[in-house]
Structure formats: C-alpha cells, structure tokens
Structure 1
Amino acid sequence: MDGTDEAGVGTDGRLRRAMTAVRRERRRTADELEAFRAFEDRVRAIDAETTTARGGSTVSVAAVRSQPTSGLRRVRQAYETTVMSVPHYVEEYDDTYVESLQGEFSPDIASALTDGTNFNERCRQATLSAASEAQSSRELLVGALDSERESLQEVTEELRPVIEEVADLAARSYAEESFGSLDAYRARLHVLEEHCDDVAAGRQASLFEQRRARWLPSSAPDIACYVYQAEAFDYPVMSTVAELTERIRTVRATVERAMARCRP
C-alpha cells in the first residue's frame, strides 16, 4: 500500500471500494435478471383460468371474490421461489409479496394477482409482459454496470502512476535542491495536475453518456449516485481526482517556497 491509502486516495482506497460496489451491484442485478427469467418460464407453464357458473356461462372476474385459485397460488409460489429468493433479497428489499409486485410490476397487476380472483388470460399476459419488462431493465443495468466497471479500471490505471509519483514527491526534502532542480519539480507537478484535469474531463463525459441512456430510476441522476449510495462518496473518481489535485498543489507550494529561498 502506498502512503496515500490512509487518506483514501490510493488505488487500494476509494477507487477500490467503488470497484467492489460495482461488482456487488452487477452480481445482484444478474441474479435478479435470472430470477425474472425463471419466473416468466414458470408463468408460461401455468394455464389461464376461467370461472364458469352453473349452466356453463362464464362469470366475470369482478364477480368472483373467493380464495385465490390454483393459478394464482402457483404464480405466487413461482414468484416467491425466484424473484423473492435471490440471495440479497432480504438485505436490499425485504418486501412482502404484495409490496414486491407493486414495486416491480404495478399496483394493478399486484391487485390482479392478490385480490382473490382467478388467473385469467388477461392477467396472465399482463404478468408475462411485466416480467419481460423487468428483465429488459436489468439487462440495460447490467450493461451500464459493465461500462462503469471498465471506466473505473481505466481511471485506476491512469491514476496509479500519478498517485505513486505524487506520494514520492511529497516525501522529498527540497531544502538542499538547486534552483534548476526545483524548477523541474514544479514543471513536473504542473504536468501531473493537467493529467488529473484530463482524467476528470473524461470521467465527466462518461457520466454524461450514462445519463443519456435513461435506464435509471428518476430518483437516481446517474450511475454513480445509484451504485455508490451506500458509500461515503457519490463520485469516487471526481473526489479522488480533487483530493489528488489538492495534494499536487500542496507539494508545488512547498517547492515554490524552496525556490524563493534559493538563489538561481
């Protein structure tokens, strides 16, 4: 570990925690995607029901207020053993069956599946459509998380040598250096700061592209706020770059003070 890790700047600090968060969210999203696929498959295997009155006439669904039919019970069992059985369900959601249906599908579908009516064809198709939409949103999220992971990897590779060089420069004593050497150090620190600016600009562009994808819920403005909401930071790259830039400026000020005391 380098000396900057204690301050949360090094590649084993904030950026590493961010990468762990991305991988965790990606794994959970993939688990949910597979769960909704399995749920859809099970629902397709459940036949639609009709309610028949005496004499063979079909009774409207609204007229039936009995216990859940076999079809509705099978749907619930399918949902609970797939969607509600992902490893992280209790930790992240801990919803009831009805609450989960309302959040994942819609209040109307939740009502149709839990109000005691039968599992008719209209309800069956609506459930299948909602399950398909849930899969599509998670497929988009998996892609966005893969992009975020790649972005973090690239940034970490770009910043690692800068972090190490700045740590080395910060540990130096400049009292006995010549004016020419000090001027060279100052120039190098300017180059390192410009590199940080380039990394920040690239990251901003990446976040802008992610916003354009519009796959996130309206409450989350971008991938960073969505993935890192449980962390002490929202924007790990930008905060790391800002802290590193401040450190560069501090070292440069030290070099410039030495230059002021040194004769050319």
Structure 2
Amino acid sequence: MAPRLISVTTFRIADTDAAVAGCESLTCKLVEVVTNPSVVTGLMLTGLAALIALSYVRDATGKCRREKRRVLDERDAFSEFADRVAALDLGSVPSLTPDSGGPVRRFHRTTESGKPVSITLQRVISIYRETVMSVTHYEREYDETVSESLTAELGPDTVMSLAANKNLSPPAQNALVSRSREAADARDSLADAIEVELDALADVESELSTIDRRRRRLISHLDEVNVDETGAALDIWHQLNDLEIETEKVATERQRSLRNSPMQIDTGIVDTGEMAFYDYLYGSTDGPSHPVLAQIADLTAEIRDNRDHVATQIANGD
C-alpha cells in the first residue's frame, strides 16, 4: 500500500514491526530476519550444487516495480485533480443548488438537510472521484469515502472548511490546488526513492549470483578432485570460506543502507525510525520483511553446508 499524506507532510502507512533493529552480529543475526525460520533449514538439506534461486530478491524487485507503478498512478491522479480544480471558473456557474444528497451528503454526513450547496463543490467532489479515487488499486488498498480520502491526503482543515461553507471560495480553491500538487510531488519523490531501492536490489542480485556461481563451480570441481589430493580439497574449503566472507560484506553494506534509506518517512502512527521506508515496501508482504538479508542468510547457509561437506571428505579421506 502506498503511503498516505496527512496534512501534506506526513506519510500514513501500515503499522509493521522493524525486523533488524539492534542487529549487531552478522553471523548470529542474519537468519533472524527470515520470516519463516524453516526456510533456511530446508535449504541446507538441498543438493550441494543446488542453485540459489534468489527468489527473495526477485520477489522484492517485483514488489517494488508494482509499488512504483501505483505511486506514479497516484501522482498523475493528483496532478490531474489539481489542474481540473484550478481550471474551475467560480463565477461562471450558479453559486448554489439544493442539497440532493448523494456524494455531497456522503462527503459530510453532518450537512444540514436542505441547506444550499455550491455546484462547484459538487464538481470538486466529482473530479476527485474521477481522478484520485479512480486509480485501479484505490478500492482494494484504501476503500475510503471521499471525505476520508480528502482528510487523509489534503488535511482535515480543508475538508472542514469545504463542509462548513458548502462552497468553493477562491482561497479554498487555491488551497486544494496547492495541496494536491504537493501530494503529487511527494509521490514523485517516493517513486524516485523506490527506484533507488530497485537499483540496490539489482546490485545485490548481481553480487549474490556471482558468489553462487563460484560456489557451484567449486563443488563441481570437488567431484573431479582425486581423493588422494587432499591439498586440492583444502583449497576448495578455503575458497568456500572466502565466499562466506564476501556474503558478510554484502550483508554489511545492506545493513548500512537500511540505516540510510533513500527517503525518511514519518508514519504519523508509530515511531518506526530509520526502517520505516523498508517497512512500507516489505512489511505487509507474505515474505520476509528484509528480503536481501534473508537471501544472504540462505546463501550463507548453503556455503557453510558445502564447506562442512568438504571438511568431512577431507577427514574421511573420501
């Protein structure tokens, strides 16, 4: 779900738990970020030369791409709403019309029956429904009334002013246009931040794929080593150990990025601090809340399993 603006400056997102706050030791903490602990255990039981699918990272990439598309759709909707409201000529239409209920009544349930309602206000509500509330994911993700959505996105003072006056005055028109454009700009910034995360995921996938290919080549080479050539097996063991160190470096860099996210988000609900951006992206998904660290945990487990197998072969002279 895309973050929501409260009074234009504060994002409203789902309340989720930060999974890696306070994590200090890479080797002892990596597995803890996996939502389902059985995942790593199951992976360790697979074949020695099995390809790590990097499914967590690839699922995260797909999630980010979909979210960026939704955010851009919302940006375009707010931009269109702002343009259409700005184009309204307040002096070219009859100022008042009887309140017949419908969207206006639902917009503010405390409206006094029969009190005159500005036809331009009705147009504003219709435009909002045709733009912001018409994005394809709106009903599925938000399912709000016009009043609830306007309050969340453009501020409760805007809604209260429109509902109380039942008219779109020039100052109210300017406020609607200004805040809608701010909402569009905020989503533009959010889309840029998601793109930064997409670039980071692409880099991580490349790094982990390279490490995994080298791991598989080492295990394949082990099968070709003469059982009497213990030195060659020892060399493979050391190279596997080096690969684990490389995965820890990738984890270190990822943890650093988690604490320097491309966008700071204030949820307006709880203090999720520096992890809020990643909670927004991954916290409500079925998979791990930190997919990169979960992927590294998988690969690290596989490398260790391989290394233990080589050590056993060396010890047994197999």
> Structure 1 residues 170 and 231 mapped into 2: Cα distance closer, same or farther (>3 Å)?
farther
Is 1:231–2:286 an aligned residue pair? yes
Instruction: Describe how 1:30-45 pairs up with structure 2 within 5 A.
Output: 30-45=72-87
Please name the residue that 1:94 is paired with.
143
User: Deviation of residue 113 (structure 1)?
Assistant: 3.1
- AA in 1 matched with 2:278: A
Mapped to 2, the partners of 1:89 and 1:208 lie a distance apart of 31
Q: In the alignment, which of 199, 203, 215 is matched to residue 154 of structure 1?
A: 203
User: Deviation of residue 254 (structure 1)?
Assistant: 1.4
Mapped to 2, the partners of 1:110 and 1:167 lie a distance apart of 61
Q: In the alignment, which of 113, 118, 134 is matched to residue 85 of structure 1?
A: 134
> Structure 1 residues 82 and 106 mapped into 2: Cα distance closer, same or farther (>3 Å)?
same
Mapped to 2, the partners of 1:216 and 1:26 lie a distance apart of 19
- AA in 2 matched with 1:38: E
Mapped to 1, the partners of 2:51 and 2:317 lie a distance apart of 34
Mapped to 2, the partners of 1:201 and 1:118 lie a distance apart of 56
8 A Cα contact 2:81 2:131, kept in partner: yes
**Which string of whole-angstrom CA distances, capped at 9 and with x for unpartnered residues, describes residues 41-77 of structure 1?**
011012457989xxxxxxxxxxx96243111111111
Please name the residue that 2:190 is paired with.
141
User: Deviation of residue 32 (structure 1)?
Assistant: 0.6
Mapped to 2, the partners of 1:46 and 1:241 lie a distance apart of 55
Gaps (5+ residues) in structure 1?
53-63
Mapped to 1, the partners of 2:51 and 2:310 lie a distance apart of 24
Higher relative contact order (CA 8 A, sep 6+): 2
Mapped to 2, the partners of 1:135 and 1:150 lie a distance apart of 23
User: Deviation of residue 169 (structure 1)?
Assistant: 4.8
Instruction: Describe how 1:62-81 pairs up with structure 2 within 5 A.
Output: 66-81=115-130
Instruction: Describe how 1:17-28 pairs up with structure 2 within 5 A.
Output: 17-28=59-70
8 A Cα contact 2:230 2:314, kept in partner: yes
Mapped to 1, the partners of 2:149 and 2:219 lie a distance apart of 53
**Which string of whole-angstrom CA distances, capped at 9 and with x for unpartnered residues, describes residues 217-261 of structure 1?**
355633322112223111111110011111111111111122222
Instruction: Describe how 1:51-70 pairs up with structure 2 within 5 A.
Output: 66-70=115-119
SS of the counterpart of 2:84? helix
Please name the residue that 1:217 is paired with.
267
Mapped to 1, the partners of 2:124 and 2:315 lie a distance apart of 78
Could you say which structure has the higher helix fraction? 1
User: Deviation of residue 106 (structure 1)?
Assistant: 1.5
Q: In the alignment, which of 100, 109, 121 is matched to residue 170 of structure 2?
A: 121
**Which string of whole-angstrom CA distances, capped at 9 and with x for unpartnered residues, describes residues 142-193 of structure 1?**
1100100100111111111222333455676589362111111111111111
Mapped to 2, the partners of 1:24 and 1:223 lie a distance apart of 16
Instruction: Describe how 1:151-190 pairs up with structure 2 within 5 A.
Output: 151-167=200-216, 169=218, 176=227, 178-190=229-241
